Chain A
Amino acid sequence: MSAPSDRDLIKRARRGDAGSAEAFGELVTRYQTNVFNVCYRILHERAGAEDMAQDAFIRAHERLDTFDDERPFGPWIRRLAANVCLSHLSSQKISAELDEEREADTGQRPDAVQEARERSEYIRAALASLPAHYRVVIELRHYQEMSYDEIAAELNIPLSDVKSHLFRARKLLAEKLHAPD
C-alpha cells in the first residue's frame, strides 16, 4: 500500500478525531528537517531552532483550516516557520544586542572564524550576524524561492522594503564573506 499523500494526511488531521494527531505527526516527520533548517538558518542555534520548529508545526496545526490543500504543504509550512522565527526574534528585546555582538565578532575576527569552522559554518555565522529582518528576506528569497511580491505579502511590508532589505543584506554578507584575512 502506498504512503498517504500530504493532502490525505491534512484531511485526516483536520477531522479532530483520535487518528488526527497521528496524521499530523506523519506530516511533521516528512517536513521536520526542512522546517528545522529554516529555523536554524535564521536563528543559528540548534536548541532554539528545534523549539521554533516545534512551535511552527503547532501553529500550522492551529491554522490547518486556513490552509488551501490545492497548494503544496512544504512551502506553506516553511514560510510559516520563517514567520515564527521572525516573531520570536522581534519579541526578544536582546536580539538587537545579540545581532550587534555577533556582527562585532565576525567583523573583528573573520580569520579566526574561517580557520575554526567549515566554510558552510562560516556562511551560517555571516547570515546569523545580519539583522533579523535581513535574515528572513534572505531565507524567503534564496531558500524558499519566493518572488519580491510574495515576500512583501508574507511579511506585510512594502515592495520597496523587500528590495532594499535584500540588497543591503547581500551587501553585508559579501562584505563579511569576502573580507580580507
Chain B
Amino acid sequence: MHLTDHLTDVQLNEYLDHEINDRGRVEAHLASCTNCAARLTALQALFDEIESLPEVALSRSIAAPVTRRVRGSGVLPRSLRLTVTLQGVAAISVIILAAPFVGQFISPYLLEIQSLSFADMFLPVQSQWTAWLDLLSQFQVPTVPEFPVVELSSLFMTIIVVGASLLWLIGNGLLLRNQVK
C-alpha cells in the first residue's frame, strides 16, 4: 500500500476490527487523507450504532423450564455413564467371544429344524387344533376345575413377599428420587 493510495473499505473494516497488520502505515495515511478519515469516521459511527443496542429483559425467567427439562432428561452421572459404556463394551465382547460356542451348540438343532418340511411343522398344530375342538364339544357346565396345589413353606413365602416388597420400594425410590426436592 502506498501512502498516497486511498484505503479500501476492507482495510478500513480490518483496521477498526484490529485485524490489520500494518496499523502504523494506515494511521499515517489517515492523518494525511481527509477522504479516508471521513470514511473511517462514518464506519466507526456504524459500529457505535450497532453496539449501542440495549439489552432487552426477558418477559419471564426461563430457569424453571430449563431446570425441568434438564431434570427430565435423566442425564446419568459421569461415573455411571462410564460404567454403562464399559458394560456395553463387555457385553459386545462376550457376544463376540461366545458366538462360535453358541453356534457349535445349536447347530445340530438348526439342522433338525431345517430338515423339517412345512407339512411336518403344520401337522402337530393341526392335530392340536382338532383335539381342542373335540374337547370343546365335550365341555360340560358347570365343572369346577381343579388347580394343582403347590406346597410352599411359610419361610419361603415370607422371603418371596419381603423380597418383592423391597424391590418395589427400591425401584420406586430410584424412579422418584429426582422428583423429590
B-binding residues in A (CB < 8 A): 14-18, 20-22, 24-26, 28-29, 32-34, 36-37, 40-41, 46, 50, 53-54, 57-58, 61-62, 65, 120, 123-124, 127, 138, 141-143, 147-148, 163, 166-167, 170-171, 173-174, 177
Contact = CB atoms under 8 A, between A and B. Distances in A.
A62 B60 CA distance: 23
B17 A166 contact: yes
Interface in B19-76: 19, 42-43, 46-47, 49-67, 69-71, 73, 75-76
Interface of B: 9-10, 13-14, 17, 19, 42-43, 46-47, 49-67, 69-71, 73, 75-78, 80-81, 177-178
Given A14-B78, A170-B43, A61 B73 contact: yes
A77 to B, nearest CB: 12
A46 B62 CA distance: 13
A53 B69 CA distance: 13
Nearest to A139: B50
26 contacts: A16-B76, A17-B77, A18-B177, A18-B178, A21-B67, A21-B70, A22-B67, A24-B67, A25-B66, A28-B67, A32-B61, A32-B63, A50-B59, A53-B58, A57-B66, A58-B73, A61-B73, A61-B75, A62-B75, A120-B53, A142-B50, A143-B51, A148-B17, A166-B17, A170-B43, A171-B9
B128 to A, nearest CB: 53
B56 A54 contact: no
Q: Secondary structure of the B side of the interface?
A: helix
Is chain A's binding surface mostly helix, strand, loop or mixed?
A: helix
Given A29-B63, A33-B58, A58-B69, A123 B77 contact: no
Contacts of A57: 62, 66
Nearest to A32: B62
A61 B75 CA distance: 9
Nearest to B178: A18
B18 to A, nearest CB: 8
A115 to B, nearest CB: 18
A34 to B, nearest CB: 8
A21 B91 CA distance: 31
A144 to B, nearest CB: 11
Contacts of A14: 78
Contacts of B50: 123, 127, 138, 142, 170, 173
A54 B69 contact: yes
B66 A177 contact: no
| Residue among B9, B53, B177 with most chain A CB within 10 A | B53
B70 A166 contact: no
Given A16-B76, A28-B66, A37-B56, 9 more contacts: A18-B177, A18-B178, A20-B75, A54-B65, A58-B73, A148-B19, A163-B14, A166-B13, A170-B46
